[in-house]
Structures are given as C-alpha cells and as structure tokens.
C-alpha cells in the first residue's frame, strides 16, 4: 500500500479531505487518463479498459486505488477494480440476472425468495464498481438512489407480509445514500413489528472505510438489532483503515460478517483464503460465505472450478478456528438459492453407528441413539403450537417433519403422461355411468 501523498495525483490532498468519504466518492477514478496517473498501464491495457467500460462503468475510490501495485497487472486488488477486455467476452450459458432476483420480485428493487427474509435494493450506486459484480445488470446504471416513493412501496410490501422477519438492505451499496436517507428507511422498517432484524450488505468497509463514521454508527445503533455483511476478498484489503471501520461497527454492537467471492487469480488458493479468514477474525469480522462466482455475463475469466472451493474448505476445517471457516456456497441459477457445498465427512452409516472422517483423514465411529433416547417433544413445550410460523414445513425439512410425503418436480414427461392417463380414466368413467 502506498501513502496517498506519494502518488503525484493526490500529493496535495489533506488528511481531512482524504479521510472524508464524500471527498473519496467525488474523486473516484472513473477514466483511463486519471487511472494512468495512479498505476502504470500499457497502451493495450488502456484500450481494453475503454472498451469494457461500455458495459460496466469504472469507478475506484482513491483509497482502494492506493492499495494497488502500480507495476503488477496481476495484483489482486487491481484485478478487482480495473476493467479488462475479458469482461466483453461472453459465453452462451451466461445470464444477466443469474439468480432471478427480478423474477422473485413483488416490487421493483425487492426480492422475496426465502420464507422469512427479503432483499431490498436502495440504490444502484456503489463507491467502487467491482469487476466481478454479478449485479452488473443494474449497478452504476444511474448512479443514483431510488426515490422515496419507490422505497415506500417496498416498505408497504414488508409491512403487509407478516412472514418477513429479516430485511437485507443492499444495492448497489446501501451506504452510498446519506445518513439521513438511510435513517428514514431504517426507522420506517423498524416500526414494523414482525421485522426482527435489519441487515446491511455493503462493501464500504473494504473499498471506502471512511464511510464508517461515528455519526453513522450512532444513528444505526438506535435501530438495533442491525447486522452487517461486507465483502473482503484478499488479505491485502485488510489495512489499518478497514480494521478501524470493522471495529467501529462491532464496538457499536453491529455484528460484521464477510462474504467473499472465489475469484481466479485473486483468491483461488487455500493459503490466501486461510490468511484472509484468519485476519478477518483478528479484526472481528466473521468469515461467513465464500461464493462460487456466478455465471453472470462477462465473468467467465474470474470463474474457478467448484472443486477449488471444496479444496479451500478442506484446507480450513480443522486446520484453523471453527469460526474462521466460512461456508462455500453456490447461488443456484434461476432462483435455486444458496446451496452449501463442501467436503463430505460422513463415510458411512447404519442404524447403530455413523462413521465419520476428520480433517486428518482419521476414521471414527459414533454410536446412534437407541430406544427411548430418540428425540421427542418435552412434555410441557408448546412452542410449535403457539408459534406455527417457526416450523419449517417447506422443502426437504417439511418432508423430514412429516408435513409432506414427497417432493415431486413439475413439468416432467412422467407428470404429463400421468395427467393424460388420469384424464382418460375420468372420461372413461363418465362414459360408463
């Protein structure tokens, strides 16, 4: 990391300006000529940047730009911030809205997919436009927040939908709106009795740590419980400033988690990921997810095999603190949702024993319960009667709970055949009456 005063472009910038998040946003690096004053670019690289910016604009905060190695095109920070022509080489299977956020959307900017939580996008603006962004279909399009009227419609939906207990504010980056606007949104959501937690999904602690001000956290802590997830991808992003940002949030009672994306040439290495996860716990940020890179248009060059994610978890589980081990997740296309993938620790099982292997490769057995040790409800417990909303009756959990006998996919040939057969039988029955 270079001191900003060592970069000619910013040598006259005062500490007051540099640490002011609004100055940082106003002075983002958005064109090739300015970027060339910060890092060394070949003519070919400059041409590539100009071409790919037509699809997702470039914006790099001066702070994040100062973390880049000016002479190394493979620098992990630079790869996340500087466009390349790879972004305009599309594959047939790539999609614009890979996870169907706009399909599971009862209102513009609001996605309701999982039973008890919604995703609510406040703005399409981010302080930096990450080159691996899977929401590139919307981010940076207007560089503006949504109007209060649009946001109010989303809040009305949350108010009318009693099963929503968790609201994730995202974008773009929800911390790109002013403290006042954010407070207006959070205050309205907090008034809704059935909303238990409000979450923020923001990359500002990583790319714009000065956004985490005492004023912001003082406002947020009035509306607890507030949770926050951020997005560190490489240990080089953990600096004294990003550490201070995370610590300021945690000291205000806001739990901070991290969602990394597995990126080829950035962090597709067990050792890099181990360093990242350990350093995250050091700054009190809990490694939460590692995402397999989505199949969004223009991201092919960042994608790794899914096996790499499994290998990384293998290198973490048991080899470091349990809370430093995130889950490896594939966000399934077409709204399948987040599916955890990882090494298999169950070797075999019978009704007497389960056979497991540990991180060292040791094989161990564990006895199964028998007879009256099989779980039954405590005699006085009435929780599921008093709170039926807590029961998980959908999906595989619903089958396990005996609420459903099976789950049968729709639209199969077998289903069509069965329906035709039943229809025929019904007609034949009518005819014989």
What are residue 296's phi and psi, to 5 degrees? Answer: -75, 155
Rounded to a whole number of angstroms, the minimum distance from the CB of residue 139 to ligand SF4 is 5
Residues 229-258 that bind ligand SF4 (CB under 6 A): none
Q: Which is nearer to ligand SF4, 221 or 301 (CB)?
A: 301
Among 130, 134, 277, 293, which one carries the catalytic annotation? 130
Distance in angstroms (rounded) separating the CA atoms of residues 200 and 128? 17
Catalytic site residue 135? yes
What's the longest Cα–Cα distance across the chain? 95
122 binds ligand SF4 (CB under 6 A): no
Among 25, 67, 130, 217, binds ligand SF4 (CB under 6 A): 130
Judge contact between 323 and 332, C-beta under 8 A: no
Rounded to a whole number of angstroms, the minimum distance from the CB of residue 135 to ligand SF4 is 5
The stretch among 12-20, 129-137, 161-169, 370-378 that binds ligand SF4 (CB under 6 A) is: 129-137
Catalytic site residue 406? no
What tokens were used for 42? 């070949």
Catalytic site residue 12? no
Catalytic site residue 126? yes
Q: How many residues bind ligand SF4 (CB under 6 A)?
A: 10
Among 49, 99, 126, 324, binds ligand SF4 (CB under 6 A): 126
203 binds ligand SF4 (CB under 6 A): yes
Distance in angstroms (rounded) separating the CA atoms of residues 296 and 423? 42
Rounded to a whole number of angstroms, the minimum distance from the CB of residue 411 to ligand SF4 is 33
Residue with structure tokens 């500087």? 82
Convert residues 145-184 into a mask of x (bound to ligand SF4 by CB under 6 A) and - (unbound): --------------------------xxx-----------
Among 129, 210, 232, 328, binds ligand SF4 (CB under 6 A): 129
Radius of gyration of the chain (CA): 25
Q: Which of 259, 318, 320, 249 is CA-nearest to residue 283?
A: 249
Q: Who's near 333: CB < 8 A, 6+ residues apart?
A: 95, 98, 99, 100, 294, 295
What is the side-by-side strand order in the sheet with 363-367?
Answer: 346-349, 353-357, 363-367
101 binds ligand SF4 (CB under 6 A): no
Q: Which is nearer to ligand SF4, 129 or 315 (CB)?
A: 129
What is the side-by-side strand order in the sheet with 337-340?
Answer: 110-111, 117-121, 166-170, 197-201, 226-230, 256-262, 286-292, 327-332, 337-340
Catalytic site residue 114? yes
Judge contact between 294 and 310, C-beta under 8 A: no
Among 117, 131, 146, 303, which one carries the catalytic annotation? 117
Q: Which is nearer to ligand SF4, 135 or 303 (CB)?
A: 135
299 binds ligand SF4 (CB under 6 A): no
What tokens were used for 248? 């300021």
Among 113, 244, 284, 357, which one carries the catalytic annotation? 113
Distance in angstroms (rounded) separating the CA atoms of residues 312 and 328? 9
Which are the catalytic amino acids?
A: 113-114, 117, 126, 130, 133, 135, 294, 331, 338
Question: What residues line the site for ligand SF4 (CB under 6 A)?
Answer: 126, 129-130, 133, 135, 139, 171-173, 203
């Amino acid at each position: 990391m270079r001191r900003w005063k060592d970069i000619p472009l910013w040598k006259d910038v005062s500490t007051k300006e540099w640490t002011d998040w609004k100055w940082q946003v106003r002075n983002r690096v958005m064109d090739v000529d300015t970027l060339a004053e910060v890092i060394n670019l070949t003519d070919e690289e400059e041409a590539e940047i100009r071409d790919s910016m037509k699809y997702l604009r470039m914006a790099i905060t001066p702070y994040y730009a100062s973390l880049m190695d000016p002479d190394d095109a493979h620098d992990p920070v630079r790869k996340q911030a500087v466009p390349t022509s790879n972004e305009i080489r599309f594959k047939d299977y790539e999609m614009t809205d890979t996870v169907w956020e706009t399909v599971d959307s009862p209102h513009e900017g609001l996605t309701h997919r999982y039973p008890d939580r919604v995703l609510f996008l406040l703005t399409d603006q981010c302080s930096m436009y990450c080159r691996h962004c899977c929401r590139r279909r919307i981010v940076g399009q207007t560089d503006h927040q949504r109007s209060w009227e649009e946001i109010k419609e989303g809040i009305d939906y949350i108010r009318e939908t009693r099963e929503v207990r968790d609201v994730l504010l995202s974008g773009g980056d929800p911390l790109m709106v002013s403290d006042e606007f954010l407070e207006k949104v959070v205050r309205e959501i907090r008034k809704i009795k059935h909303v238990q937690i409000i979450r923020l999904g923001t990359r500002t602690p990583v790319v714009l740590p000065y956004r985490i001000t005492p004023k912001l956290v003082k406002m947020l802590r009035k509306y607890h419980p507030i949770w926050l997830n951020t997005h560190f991808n490489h240990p080089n992003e953990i600096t004294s400033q990003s550490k201070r940002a995370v610590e300021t949030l945690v000291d205000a009672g806001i739990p901070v988690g991290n969602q990394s994306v597995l990126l080829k040439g950035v962090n597709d290495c067990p050792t890099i990921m181990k360093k990242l996860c350990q350093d995250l716990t050091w700054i009190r940020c809990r490694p939460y997810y590692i995402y397999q890179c989505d199949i969004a248009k223009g991201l092919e060059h960042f994608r790794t095999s899914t096996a790499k994610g499994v290998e990384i978890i293998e290198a973490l589980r048991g080899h470091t603190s349990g809370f430093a081990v995130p889950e490896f997740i594939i966000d399934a296309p077409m709204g399948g949702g987040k599916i955890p993938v990882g090494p298999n620790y169950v070797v075999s099982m019978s009704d007497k024993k389960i056979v497991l292997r540990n991180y060292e490769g040791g094989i161990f057995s564990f006895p199964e319960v028998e007879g009256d040790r099989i779980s039954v409800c405590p005699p006085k417990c009435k929780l599921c009667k008093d709170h039926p909303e807590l029961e998980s009756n959908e999906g595989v959990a619903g089958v396990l709970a005996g609420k459903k006998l099976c789950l049968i996919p729709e639209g199969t040939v077998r289903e069509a055949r069965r329906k035709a057969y039943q229809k025929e039988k019904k007609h034949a029955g009518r005819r014989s009456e």
